[in-house]
């Protein structure tokens, strides 16, 4: 397949998302998007704009070397984690981390071409859409994360109704609940995530895709065009992204919609905007 579009844009001063791909002879052989998990520590500790951005940057650099190599996805993930463990060991040796430190984490969805077709690896809740005879969304598995996000959105709406809109204050207040969820990651019935240790290998998704006509990888911030703002449905999103410059135009519509509703009254969400990334591949 060829690259029809790629975009990654932060919603503020720092982008904790990223998108990348590897091509050979004009054909994409692997592509991915990252969605860094917003930290809930008292401050950032790593040498990067945020701790999540540090993990995304290191993981993206490793994938540029690893994703094009001839290895199955489980082996690729194991190699990636081993490299991140070394990165973390080196970085943490110079840090004075507090008790209960929330380690950096990120969602990842990656697709790679093999002799028998395309296969996907997913950790976390980023979205994967494929077009065969029709457009099909492959949603992430149900997990504790869905209920937590719904709770935070509802709580954020309640507070805004009383004139309170400090997102960081919300995270501080519910720190114990957030930490409990994060400590349960990469365990049975809870969501998977990329972190710099071998717990990442516990429950990743591996998804055979066959020979799709097109594939869209996107973070939840980009998928808001469908599930939160109802700007289009899945088929409409794929159609829009397939066009030249399409992913950029979708992102522009997202930002316009977010800017028109800064108090999150029309579209329920716990922060006005989110980082957004997407990669569109077409046959």
Provide the pLDDT for residue 177. 67
Asked whether the beta carbons of 204 and 121 are under 8 A apart, the reply is yes
- What are the φ/ψ torsions at residue 219 (nearest 5 degrees)? -80, 165
Question: Tens digit of pLDDT for each residue in 150-185?
Answer: 666 777 667 666 665 565 666 667 667 677 777 778
Unique residue bearing structure tokens 């994060």: 182
For residue 206, give the nearest of 86, 84, 37, 78 by alpha carbon.
78
Question: Tens digit of pLDDT for each residue in 5-37?
Answer: 999 999 988 999 999 999 999 999 999 999 999
Contacts of 4 (CB under 8 A, 6+ apart): 214, 241, 242, 243, 244, 246, 247, 280, 281, 282
- In order, the DSSP letters of 237-278 are HHHHHHSTTHHHHHHHHHHHHHHH-TTSSSS--SSS---EEE
Rounded to the nearest angstrom, the gap between the alpha carbon of residue 14 and the centroid of all alpha carbons in its chain is 15
- With a pLDDT cut of 70, the percent of the chain lying above it is 88
Choice between 38 and 231, residue whose per-residue pLDDT is larger:
231
Provide the pLDDT for residue 269. 80
Q: How far apart are CA 15 and CA 274, in angstroms?
A: 9
Six-digit token string for 183: 């400590």
Question: Tens digit of pLDDT for each residue in 232-281?
Answer: 999 999 999 999 999 999 999 999 999 999 888 888 787 889 999 999 99
* Predicted confidence (pLDDT) at residue 220 exceeds the cutoff of 60: yes
Mean of all residue pLDDT scores within the chain: 91
Provide the pLDDT for residue 123. 97
Asked whether the beta carbons of 191 and 145 are under 8 A apart, the reply is yes
Question: Tens digit of pLDDT for each residue in 182-217?
Answer: 777 898 777 899 999 999 999 999 999 999 999 999
Asked whether the beta carbons of 28 and 1 are under 8 A apart, the reply is yes
Provide the pLDDT for residue 159. 66
Provide the pLDDT for residue 185. 87
Provide the pLDDT for residue 187. 86
Q: Are strands 205-210 and 135-138 parallel, antiparallel or unpaired?
A: unpaired
Asked whether the beta carbons of 145 and 181 are under 8 A apart, the reply is yes
């Amino acid at each position: 397949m060829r690259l029809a579009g790629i975009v990654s844009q932060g919603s503020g001063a720092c982008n904790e998302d990223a998108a990348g791909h590897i091509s050979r002879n004009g054909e994409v052989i692997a592509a991915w998007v990252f969605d860094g998990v917003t930290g809930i520590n008292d401050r950032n500790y790593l040498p990067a704009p945020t701790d999540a951005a540090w993990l995304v940057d290191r993981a993206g650099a490793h994938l540029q070397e690893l994703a094009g190599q001839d290895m199955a996805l489980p082996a690729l993930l194991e190699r990636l984690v081993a490299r991140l463990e070394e990165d973390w060991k080196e970085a943490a040796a110079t840090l004075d981390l507090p008790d209960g430190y929330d380690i950096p984490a990120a969602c990842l969805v990656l697709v790679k071409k093999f002799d028998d077709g395309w296969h996907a690896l997913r950790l976390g809740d980023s979205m994967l859409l494929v077009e065969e005879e029709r457009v099909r969304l492959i949603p992430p598995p149900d997990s504790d994360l869905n209920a937590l996000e719904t709770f935070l959105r509802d709580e954020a709406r309640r507070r805004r109704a009383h004139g309170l809109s400090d997102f960081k204050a919300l995270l501080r207040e519910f720190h114990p609940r957030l930490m409990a969820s994060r400590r349960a990651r990469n365990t049975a019935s809870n969501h998977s995530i990329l972190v710099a240790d071998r717990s990442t290998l516990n429950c990743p998704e591996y998804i055979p895709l066959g020979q799709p006509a097109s594939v869209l990888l996107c973070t939840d911030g980009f998928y808001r065009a469908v599930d939160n703002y109802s700007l289009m449905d899945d088929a409409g999103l794929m159609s829009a992204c397939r066009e030249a410059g399409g992913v950029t135009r979708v992102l522009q519509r997202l930002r316009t919609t977010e800017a028109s509703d800064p108090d999150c009254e029309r579209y329920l969400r716990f922060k006005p905007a989110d980082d957004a990334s997407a990669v569109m591949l077409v046959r």
